[in-house]
Structure 1
Amino acid sequence: MEKYDWLQYRDFAQYLLNTIDKFEAPIVEETIFRNILSRAYYSAYHYTREYLECCGIEFSHGDSHIGVITSVKSIDNNHSLLGIKLERLKKKRVDADYKHNFPYSKRDIELSLRESINIIDQIDQYKNGHH
């Protein structure tokens, strides 16, 4: 079985954002925002996790989310910033998936998706040897 391309989550989140005006009731804007945040985070998380695995960098599998974030932050200062960004996205994803009150605006969603894309782009630069 072929490995799933987690960038599909990023693309789906972007699609949701680009087509938000085409959705009709009963789908509310908040539901779309929550899905965008969740997909944006998981795309960046899985991309980062695969990067660590390819580099042979260990991370805790007990709570793999914290393990991935902690491991990437411990590589060096540049990677630490990437880990901080991923950690911020994780908090928003948890809010989107579990909190009853949703404090994020469309602008917050756009910035979060952009941050997810930036994390993925930064990992691609690391893979290509550019820091």
Structure 2
Amino acid sequence: NMDDTLAKFFPDVEGKLRETKRKSIYLWESLRAKIAAASQTTKGDQLKFSRDLGTGLTVTVLSPDGEREIVTWIDELRAEGAPVSAFMLQRKALAIAAGEGLSKDALKASWTFRKSHLRRHMISL
């Protein structure tokens, strides 16, 4: 029963927020199989979002070797005492993408690309 579920998991929630929680529960129920499948993988339990393959949303990423090349490049510059700017990182990523045969439009090396790359490799600029 939905009222029992809301009372158990959201006892202090009332009004519009209660209605939102009710809708969320129904959404989670409809996605139960997808959530269960994602939680079985090593990384799946850490996902905040998942994107189905073939939905028209594509992301261009550098190869693992290209990513390592950027990390090595940053480490070398820092060892020499040279600061690395966001612009420098963007230019390096675009150069590596070109070297990997990606078109100019395939990889933007945008702010979100830089942010996720730095976070993934635990680097700060």
Of structures 1 and 2, the one with the larger relative CO (CA 8 A, separation 6+) is: 1
Flag whether TM exceeds 0.5 (same fold). no
TM-score after normalising by structure 2: 0.26
TM-score after normalising by structure 1: 0.26
- Structure ranking higher in helix proportion: 1
